[in-house]
Amino acid sequence: MDKLWLIIKREYLNKVRNRTFIVMTFVSPLIFVAVALLIGWLTSMNSDEARKIAILDMTGQDYAALFQSNERNEYIPLEQVSEEAAIEASKQADYYGLLVLEAGPLGLKRMSFYSDDSPSSGFLESVENRINKKATDNRLIYEGIDLDVLNKSRVNEELQLQKFTGEKTSKVSGWVKIAAGGAAGYLLMMFIIIYGNMTMRSVIEEKTNRIIEIIVSSVQPIYLMVGKITGTSLAGITQFLIWIVVGIILMGVSTVFFGVDAFQNPVNAEAMMQAQDASKIQLIANDIAQLPLLKLVGCFLIYFIGGYFLYASIYTAIGAAVDNETDTQQFMLPVILPLMLAIYVGFFSVMDNPHGTVAVIFSYIPLTSPIVMLMRIPFGDIAWWEIATSMLLLYLSIIGVAYLAAKIYRIGILMYGKKTSWKELYKWLKY
């Protein structure tokens, strides 16, 4: 046991003292923020230049007035020409699009939008809504209905989302949950792949520089394997905890600097206008606060350790079976495949219905459960027994997989020069 502790300590210090680890831990959150800012900036750059959109209004009801040019779109009303001529002219002028409104007996008969691009559905919807509203109003007037009366009697109550417990949530709450679950699942996958690979490389290193013979003449291979996996996982947990602490500090800092500004000094008119939005933002903040964050972090750690041990066992077996890193390719697919599958199940099935059959089944299968269950948790009301069962299955399967991996490991580390095949691995299992 003392020796296991020694090995864990060495592996841990070896990883944590490594320059790459230090850089990864402290620089990657910065890179993450920088990339997010960069994407935001690029997006705003992207829509800098106004798109030119021609409008051919053949109804004579001045629909073009609905469209005021702004910094994103420049609207160009066309004089009375034929539709064909308008298309030709728009093409010649290299306009982004052409909106054609055809007159009918009741005013508007048809509207078409010509564009070689595919406009966003948001844009199309807003165009539709504006025209339809004016067309509807026109018809109502035509039918002799007083619009003022109609508008006054229109009820526009918003649905207040609430839980049975009485907590208010926003309509965007679903998105917050998807983001939280997706981030947790994705992070877990990255951790498993990064730290699994690290373990594998360390096995290959020991094998290629032959220190393995000295170590296994001092301790049993299983100790080295378990010690290596444990030490590396502790390094991973260290990194995760550092990120959490850094995240909390950053959040605190940002509330102090931006939070106060946004809510207490609504200096300009725009901010006043957004006062209503502010309450929405508060609701979202509420949503985030209402996420089972502690549960999420706790489960993340437990699932990370479990998932990592499961995959790291496989990674160490692969590392032991090969002589150098390039030979690992042929064994990588079965490792990456379940992880990818878990992510896809998470992003499609879980987000669609966190209690659907597929989502539930995959949150029990050990190879996918860490990621899938983690993505289900933000959606709430996953019973404790469900999580406990999934964890139990995961940890039980670790014992089985680690046992098989250890068999391959203890033979593989002493085999040199021969390129290992699947058949060979199967034979080692039976030694």
Applying CB under 8 A, which residues contact another protein? 3, 6-7, 10, 14, 205-206, 209-220, 414, 427, 431
Give me the residues paired with residue 97 across strands.
53
Could you tell me which residues come within 8 angstroms of residue 170 by beta carbon, excluding any fewer than 6 positions away?
Answer: 161, 280, 283, 284, 286, 287
In whole angstroms, the minimum distance from the beta carbon of 208 to another protein comes to: 8
Q: Which of 98/212 has CB closer to another protein?
A: 212
In whole angstroms, the minimum distance from the beta carbon of 205 to another protein comes to: 8
Q: What is the CA radius of gyration of the chain?
A: 30
Question: Taking a C-beta distance cutoff of 8 angstroms, is the pair 134, 60 a contact?
Answer: no
Parallel/antiparallel/unpaired status of strands 97-104 and 107-114:
antiparallel
d(CA 72, CA 62) in angstroms, rounded, equals: 22
Q: Which of 14/73 has CB closer to another protein?
A: 14
DSSP per-residue codes, 107-174: EEEEEEEE-SS---HHHHHHHHHHHHHHHHHHHHHHTT--HHHHHHH---PPPPEE-TT--EE-TTHH
In whole angstroms, the minimum distance from the beta carbon of 24 to another protein comes to: 17
Parallel/antiparallel/unpaired status of strands 97-104 and 51-57:
parallel
Could you tell me which residues come within 8 angstroms of residue 49 by beta carbon, excluding any fewer than 6 positions away?
Answer: none
Question: Taking a C-beta distance cutoff of 8 angstroms, is the pair 346, 185 a contact?
Answer: yes
DSSP-derived 3-state class of residue 122? helix
Of 301, 314, 312, 313, whose CA–CA distance to 374 is shortest? 301
Question: Taking a C-beta distance cutoff of 8 angstroms, is the pair 411, 214 a contact?
Answer: no
Q: Which of 6/404 has CB closer to another protein?
A: 6
Q: Which of 301/415 has CB closer to another protein?
A: 415
**Cα–Cα separations (whole angstroms), residue 302 to 147, 355, 394:** 62, 21, 10
Q: Which of 224/375 has CB closer to another protein?
A: 224
In whole angstroms, the minimum distance from the beta carbon of 4 to another protein comes to: 10
Q: Which of 14/330 has CB closer to another protein?
A: 14
In whole angstroms, the minimum distance from the beta carbon of 401 to another protein comes to: 23
Could you tell me which residues come within 8 angstroms of residue 309 by beta carbon, excluding any fewer than 6 positions away?
Answer: 229, 233, 398, 402
In whole angstroms, the minimum distance from the beta carbon of 234 to another protein comes to: 17
In whole angstroms, the minimum distance from the beta carbon of 203 to another protein comes to: 13
Give 150: exposed, middle or buried? Use CB within 10 Å, 0-12, 13-18, 19+: exposed
> Which token pair is 287?
């949503």
Which position has the token pair 């990255």?
190
In whole angstroms, the minimum distance from the beta carbon of 218 to another protein comes to: 4
In whole angstroms, the minimum distance from the beta carbon of 213 to another protein comes to: 4
In whole angstroms, the minimum distance from the beta carbon of 217 to another protein comes to: 4
